[in-house]
Chain A
Amino acid sequence: MYNKTMIVAGLVIFVLMVTFPVWYNRLDAGPLPKPELPPGGEKECVASASFMRDKHMQLLYEWRDDVLRNTDRVAVTVGGKEYRKGLQMACMECHSNKEKFCDTCHDYAAVTPDCWDCHLTPTEAAAKKEAH
């Protein structure tokens, strides 16, 4: 093997550089986000908190396909309360503060869902509300 020293040294430098963010923060990813619970005091969601934590995107995708492609807009009833299928219509009704609920985790995980390019957050919806 030629240039053994150079190659090994190069590899070591490469690995150190790639893992820089990990060891620089001493294996600490910072304080865990604490999303604000619904300001209205609602305790129940369409599914359990752990399911929603893990799989809310899958649920939203299912709803999206139901509503848009399968013409199934039947509301979901949980504990006597009806939830219309939709991010804007069901989720944001209770979780009315997107910045303190959705964004806290999404920022932490560095994901930028493009839902809000089309769907209105409660703040946005209120910004240009019709005067009835």
Chain B
Amino acid sequence: MDNKRRKFLKMAGATVLAGISAPAVVNLTSGSALAASGTDAAHGGHGGPAPTGVRLGMVIDMRKFYGNQELLDKAIEACYRVHNIPKIQNRKSEIKWIWKTGFANAFVDQSHNKRSETVLNNQFPVLCNHCDNPSCVKVCPTKATFVHEEDGIVAMDYHRCIGCRFCMAACPYGARSFNWEDPRPYIETYNPDFPTRMRGVVEKCNFCGERLALGLEPACVEACQGTGAMVFGDLNDPESEIRKVLNQEFTIQRNSAAGTRPSVFYIV
């Protein structure tokens, strides 16, 4: 019996040693493979290659909104009406697709304390940035949020959302809202062509995917029509209006240091 126990202990010791040393051996032998994955990570990170094909984006010209907050309200109202967004006053439960915020909140990495009065006294429209490198998509365990390869829209499939809110934690822009309550009592008018959401799902701006399919512009852009305050289009099309604006003007993105590469640009 003793002999057997000795054998067993020897075997166990050898197995543990082998287990501990195996990763080191793998490391030594697969150096090239590791190096390759390292460069991949660098590609996916900050400042990686720009995606090709149609990439929808938006330029928000703040100069048109300064002193004209009614226009901003109109744009927000249009979005809320089209998408059956509930107006919940309670800050914990509120649902936001496009909303107003101060400069310091909108552009957290643009910090200096001698900003112009105009910037300090005006509200900025903020929405989902439909990033090229969206952190929300990476963390979603059910693929309920995903990127449309055809146009770069970061979309939500509410049928799949399990309400885990990982995406909310991952989004550096706070662009996602969780439905803590049944939204229907808080919706003033229904758009019969668009569903409401149910309690327990996360929602956000969808760049009006359903309107684009009908050849319409997003609701907020349409509400600002004629003013040039919001320009929407294909960022990869050199002939598009948005590219012309981007070529002419100096634009900034929200929290570009997060490395998510937003598709919404601001002229401040």
Binding site for B on A (CB under 8 A): 64, 68-69, 71, 73, 86, 88-89, 114, 117-120, 122, 124-130
Contacts and interface: CB of A to CB of B under 8 A. Distances in A.
Contact of A129 (B148, B184, B189): B189
What is the size category of the interface that chain B forms with chain A? 20 to 34
A128 B190 contact: yes
Given A71-B148, A128-B188, A88 B193 contact: yes
A74 to B, nearest CB: 9
Contacts, number: 51
Contacts of A119: 195
A128 B148 CA distance: 32
A125 B193 CA distance: 9
Given A88-B193, A130-B81, 12 more contacts: A64-B159, A68-B155, A69-B155, A89-B193, A117-B199, A120-B192, A120-B196, A124-B184, A124-B190, A127-B190, A129-B189, A130-B190
B195 A88 contact: yes
B157 to A, nearest CB: 5
Contact of A125 (B81, B158, B192, B198): B192
Contacts of B70: none
A132 B148 CA distance: 34
B99 interface: no
Contacts of B190: 120, 124-125, 127-130
**Interface of chain B, main secondary structure:** loop
Contacts of A64: 159
A97 B151 CA distance: 37
Contacts of B158: 118
A20 B194 CA distance: 45
Contacts of A128: 187-190
Interface string B176-212: 0000000010011111111111110000000001100
B213 interface: yes
B117 interface: no
A117 B198 contact: yes
A118 B148 contact: no
Contact of A118 (B146, B150, B198): B198
Given A88-B193, A88-B195, A71 B188 contact: no
A107 B150 CA distance: 41
Contacts of B191: 130
Contact of B196 (A69, A118, A129): A118
19 contacts: A68-B155, A69-B146, A69-B157, A71-B150, A88-B192, A88-B193, A88-B194, A88-B195, A114-B198, A118-B198, A119-B195, A120-B195, A120-B196, A126-B192, A127-B190, A129-B190, A129-B192, A130-B190, A130-B191
